[in-house]
Amino acid sequence: MVLRRSFINSPDYIQSLDRGLQVLRAFNRERPRCTLSDIAAQIGLSRAVARRSLLTLQHLGYVAAQGRQFFLTPRVLELGYSYLSSLDLTELAHEAMEQLSHRVGESCSMAVLDGSDIVYVARVAVRRLMSVALGVGARLPAFAASMGRVLLADKSDSELGAWLRENTFRPMTAHTIYKPRALRAEILKVRREGYAFVSQELELGLCSIAVPIRSATGVAVCGLNVSMRYSNDVRSVALKKMLPALQEARHAIERAVGRNGWQPLAIARSAYG
């Protein structure tokens, strides 16, 4: 503690950074949502200081607000992706994902919903299919991604309607479903069928199929997908070969999460569930 106080008094210490991190740490499993007064009292700061930190974090996308309550967004996971990838927590999913990838001979990924995007939280790559490199922390537009659609399908009708109104969509290829009415119909279809198949909507030649991974309460906390190259029979292959393997991997991950309580998943869905 003496060393810490010594550093605090040094010119290298950045007080605003310390305070911002204190604000982030004020949220936890017992306090997933806090008011400004709650946070100020929890970390011993004035309301004015806590407010500036909260508004800055909100501007940067790490915190969101609903009424008087603030809560973390999935973007906070970006701060610890490298660390999380080295922990046994990610191994809960990686074991099943590696088995899935080996079984189907294709890359598989896991992502959470963050506003208008999905954020990759785990990936097992067999070969590179997209022109952009995908890894933990990568972001893709949710409306055109299979994992995005299975997560959007878990929203209520009113939540989905609000999401469609709040975001703008542009076609990424000639196959992209992007007009709000058609997109809503496609997402409702995903809700009925329990999976999302996307063919060449993100990038020409790329297809994927995804299923939701649910918490013990039945909420979709992340999406799990398998990607593949386009072919004339790709949809048939996806439904007959990839989907059963995906569903088996999903059940394995849900059982593992249920036994071990994978907290990053709970944190990841706190903003846009």
Q: Which domains does the chain have, with CATH numbers?
A: 2-72 (1.10.10.10), 76-268 (3.30.450.40)
pLDDT at 12: 82
Q: What is the mean pLDDT of the chain?
A: 84
Q: For residues 273 and 53, give the distance between their C-alpha atoms in angstroms, rounded to a whole number.
A: 24
Question: Tell me, what amino acid is at 253?
Answer: I
- Are the CB atoms for 57 and 67 separated by under 8 Å? no
pLDDT at 132: 55
pLDDT at 263: 46
pLDDT at 191: 97
Residue carrying structure tokens 């039945």: 218
Could you report the per-residue pLDDT of 52-73, keeping only the tens digit for each? 999 999 999 899 988 989 998 8
Q: For residues 144 and 123, give the distance between their C-alpha atoms in angstroms, rounded to a whole number.
A: 19
> Longest Cα pair distance anywhere in the chain, in angstroms?
68
Q: How many helices (H) and strands (E) does the chain have?
A: 12, 9
The neighbour count for residue 220, using CB atoms within 10 Å, is 20
- Are the CB atoms for 190 and 155 separated by under 8 Å? no
Whole-model pTM: value is 0.67
Phi and psi torsions of 34, nearest 5°:
-140, 150
pLDDT at 264: 41
Q: Can you give the pLDDT of all 273 residues of the chain as single tens digits?
A: 334 567 777 888 888 888 888 898 888 777 889 999 999 998 898 989 889 999 999 999 899 988 989 998 888 877 765 555 544 445 678 889 999 999 999 999 999 898 899 988 888 888 655 545 677 778 899 999 999 999 999 999 999 999 999 999 999 999 999 999 999 999 999 999 999 999 999 999 999 999 999 877 788 888 999 999 999 999 999 999 999 999 999 999 888 776 555 444 443 433 333
Neighbouring C-alpha atoms within 13 Å toward the C-beta of 149: 32
pLDDT at 130: 53
Alpha-carbon radius of gyration of the chain:
20
Phi and psi torsions of 84, nearest 5°:
-60, -35
Q: Which of 155, 161, 256, 146 is nearest to 207 (CA)?
A: 146
Residue carrying structure tokens 């607000």: 65
- Are the CB atoms for 228 and 155 separated by under 8 Å? no
The helix (H) or strand (E) run that includes residue 190 is helix 180-193
Q: For residues 50 and 43, give the distance between their C-alpha atoms in angstroms, rounded to a whole number.
A: 9
With left for phi above 0 and alpha for psi between -120 and 50, is residue 140 left, alpha or beta?
beta
Question: What SS3 state is found at 69?
Answer: strand
pLDDT at 265: 41
Order of strands, sheet of 63-66, starting from the edge strand that comes earlier in the sequence: 33-35, 69-72, 63-66
pLDDT at 128: 57
